[in-house]
Amino acid sequence: MAATKEEIIAGLADIVNEIAGIPAEDVKEDKSFTDDLDVDSLSMVEVVVAAEERFSVKIPDDDVKNLKTVGDATEYILKHQG
């Protein structure tokens, strides 16, 4: 069953909270992972791996660099989930 946009954002919020310690309610669609959510490149790898597992998607390394905001990641997952 494909996740909805809202479920993806909530899931990403949980993941960012676990990895970066950012309160889930601060993780919004327009937030930049690096600038707003304090996710460095190493943590971003953890976010991607967790998102791949949670949403059954594969996010190639070449695509990760394009996922600047929570919204970018949400749209990517919506398009590519199983």
Architecture of domain 5-80: Orthogonal Bundle (1.10)
Could you tell me the residue ranges of all domains in the chain? 5-80
Residue at token pair 């660099």: 65
User: Are the C-beta atoms of residues 47 and 19 closer than 8 Å to each other?
Assistant: yes
User: What's the start-to-end Cα distance of the chain, in Å?
Assistant: 8
- In this prediction, residue 82 carries a pLDDT of 72
Confidence category of residue 1, pLDDT binned at 50, 70, 90 = confident
Instruction: List, for residues 13-68, the tens digit of each pLDDT value.
Output: 999 999 999 999 999 999 999 999 999 999 999 999 999 999 999 999 999 999 99
Number of H helices, E strands in the chain: 4, 0
- Distances in Å between the Cα of 44 and the Cα atoms of 16, 59, 64 are 9, 12, 8
